[in-house]
């Protein structure tokens, strides 16, 4: 019998070691989860989510980067949701680079999104409205995201996975309404051309009808170990945020409360179980009941009501989930160049006039902010965005970097080649609001130049590309 040479034996050993450490053998499905506290370590910090600088000097609850890593054979993907309002691409690109250095996950297989809490530290400087990001917090944020991915990967174990969907219509409302002309008011450019209004006055005689539908579905992925120990739950709901957070502090809003409830109810307080709530397409969706307003609530009361309602809906469907020991996992990413909107010469001239006016001059609401954005857009021509398509069994996930109108998500769900699909917005960057071309024609806050920076046909281009990518990985 021939004895293999030392070189051959060494080669075999190295190959076995590489399979065991770097990646699981083909056909093995594994999952791991982790969460890293990203609550500011120093105060005060500026919050984002309004048109003025708001400072926070405390935490009402903890902020986290929550990660789920899935591995099937040679494919390993990370799905991370961060308690923040929105995170620019440059910040996330750096976080992913750091994660790639300490993990075995490729950058183009990292999905990182923000929840859209309006009570979280600024992750970018908004010069037009005087909000400045703290460099120390950006460092903490990037390290937190990278560490969450790294730890979730370290926690990989053989696992089973399932998914489901629940209806939760009670707390989602379209915030754009057709209203009587007297309710429109003046926009920041001194015009009154809008046909619909965001968050209109709760006057029944002014309201006509919502400008678009809602998406009442809560989609979720659930993962457990082979022994039945819960590992993670990744949920998705199209709700902008809830609010009702007092001034002066940071909060994860209902996203964090949902996670805490699910970790207690479904995870049975297992220390390694991580619950996650991502944002669907909620650019025009919020929690305000315009025709039958909620009663006045105490701080955080509405957050807990919404979180409990959504958690109960998920728990009811979770008991019906059929777990699978193996599913194919595929992911594709594309950098898409999208034109940015360019102001007209008239708009540039008007912006300069507004900015030249003395501070005590009465101008249209938010005129200076939008004048600054107008001049900035005059210099910007193309925005390069990242979009992704992810397949987990016969479930599809599509990502967009915008505050995306609900019709876009509903359209992707309907036309997707996958059996079931959901979308994650504010993923891998932030490129303002994304209305449909039809909604652009109606005007309103989300379509104003500055609120929306991408070309009016951007949603069509992005949707078609995502559907093509979903088709690619559905094979």
Q: What pLDDT score does 11 carry? A: 34
Residue where a domain terminates, one of 353, 377, 401: 377
Whether 57 and 133 share a structural domain: yes
Any idea what DSSP says for residue 335?
Answer: E
* Same-domain pairing of 41 and 163: yes
Note whether 264 and 406 are same-domain residues.
Answer: yes
DSSP sequence for 55-91:
EE-EESS--EEEEEEEEETTEEEEEEEESSS---HHH
**CA atoms in the 13 A half-sphere facing the CB of 387:** 23
User: Is residue 146 in some structural domain?
Assistant: yes
Which residues face 433 on adjacent strands? Answer: 403
Total domain count for the chain?
2
Are 358 and 386 in the same domain? no
**CA–CA distance, 438 with 445 (Å, rounded to integer):** 15
CA–CA gap between residue 329 and residue 323 (Å, rounded): 15
Do 299 and 354 belong together in one domain? no
Average pLDDT across each block of 10 residues of the chain; the chain has 475 residues. List them in order: 39 30 61 98 95 96 98 96 98 98 97 98 93 97 98 98 98 98 94 96 92 98 97 98 97 98 92 96 97 94 98 98 97 97 95 95 95 91 93 98 98 98 98 98 98 97 98 96
Specify if 95 maps to a domain: yes
pLDDT at position 26: 54
* Cα–Cα distance measured from residue 32 to residue 158, given in angstroms and rounded to the nearest whole number: 9
Domain identity same for 401 and 461: yes
Identify whether 37 is part of a domain: yes
- Chosen domain end from 326, 353, 377: 377
For 1-29, the DSSP string reads -PPPPHHHHHHHHHHHHHHHHHSPPTT-E
Note whether 405 and 285 are within 8 A (CB). no
Domain boundary among 358, 377, 396: 377
Burial of residue 104, with CB atoms counted within 10 A of its CB: 0-12 exposed, 13-18 middle, 19 or more buried? middle
Asked whether residue 351 falls in the same domain as residue 442, the answer is no
What are the distances in angstroms from CA 360 to CA 165, 234, 344, 356?
A: 53, 50, 27, 12
In a domain, 186, yes or no: no
Q: Does 347 share its domain with 469? A: no
| Mode of pairing for the β-strands spanning 75-82 and 110-114 | parallel
pLDDT of residue 14: 29
pLDDT of residue 442: 98
Based on the fold, state whether residues 299 and 413 are members of the same structural domain: yes
Closest among 169, 129, 178, 179 to 372, alpha carbons compared: 129
DSSP character string of 353-372: HHHHS-TTS--STTHHHHHH
Indicate whether 352 and 410 sit together in one domain: no
Q: Which domain holds residue 103?
A: 27-175+209-338+381-474
Same domain, 230 and 356: no
Regarding whether 415 and 332 lie in a shared domain, the answer is: yes
Asked if residue 397 is part of any domain, the answer here is: yes
Residue 19 belongs to a domain: no
């Amino acid at each position: 019998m021939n004895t293999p040479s030392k070189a051959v034996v060494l080669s075999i050993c190295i190959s076995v070691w590489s399979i065991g450490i770097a990646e699981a053998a083909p056909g093995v499905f594994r999952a791991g989860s982790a969460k890293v506290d990203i609550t500011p370590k120093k105060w005060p910090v500026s919050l984002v989510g309004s048109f003025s600088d708001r400072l926070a000097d405390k935490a009402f609850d903890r902020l986290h980067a929550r990660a789920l890593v899935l591995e099937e054979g040679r494919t390993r993907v990370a799905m991370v949701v961060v308690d923040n309002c929105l995170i620019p691409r440059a910040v996330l690109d750096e976080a992913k680079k750091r994660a790639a250095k300490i993990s075995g996950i490729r950058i183009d297989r990292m999905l990182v999104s923000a929840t859209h809490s309006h009570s979280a530290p600024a992750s970018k400087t908004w010069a037009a409205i005087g909000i400045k990001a703290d460099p120390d917090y950006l460092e903490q944020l990037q390290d937190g995201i990278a560490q969450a991915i790294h730890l979730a990967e370290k926690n990989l174990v053989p696992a089973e996975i399932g998914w489901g969907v629940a209806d939760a219509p009670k707390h989602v409302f379209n915030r754009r309404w057709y209203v009587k002309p007297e309710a429109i008011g003046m926009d920041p450019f001194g015009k009154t051309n809008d046909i619909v209004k965001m968050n209109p006055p709760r006057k029944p005689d002014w309201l006509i009808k919502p400008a678009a539908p809602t998406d009442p579905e809560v989609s979720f992925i659930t993962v457990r170990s082979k022994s039945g120990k819960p590992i993670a739950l990744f949920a998705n709901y199209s709700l902008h945020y809830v609010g009702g957070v007092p001034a002066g502090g940071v909060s994860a809003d209902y996203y964090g409360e949902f996670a805490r409830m699910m970790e207690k109810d479904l995870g049975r307080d297992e220390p390694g179980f991580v619950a996650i709530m991502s944002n669907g397409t909620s650019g025009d969706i919020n929690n305000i009941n315009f025709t039958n307003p909620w009663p006045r609530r105490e701080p955080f009361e509405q957050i807990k009501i919404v979180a409990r309602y959504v958690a109960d809906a998920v728990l009811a469907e979770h008991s019906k989930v059929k777990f699978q020991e193996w599913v194919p996992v595929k992911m594709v990413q594309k950098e898409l160049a999208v034109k940015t909107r360019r102001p007209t010469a008239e708009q540039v001239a008007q912006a300069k006039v507004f900015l030249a006016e003395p501070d005590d001059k009465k101008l249209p609401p938010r005129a200076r902010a939008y004048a600054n954005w107008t001049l900035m857009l005059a210099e910007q021509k193309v925005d390069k965005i990242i979009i992704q398509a992810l397949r987990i069994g016969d479930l599809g996930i599509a990502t967009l970097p915008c505050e995306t109108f609900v019709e876009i998500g509903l359209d992707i769900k309907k036309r997707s080649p996958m059996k079931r699909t959901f979308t994650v917005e504010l993923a891998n960057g932030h490129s303002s609001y994304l209305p449909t071309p039809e909604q652009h024609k109606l005007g309103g806050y989300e379509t104003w130049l500055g609120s929306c920076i991408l070309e009016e046909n951007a949603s069509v281009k992005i949707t078609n590309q995502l559907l093509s990518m979903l088709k690619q990985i559905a094979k």
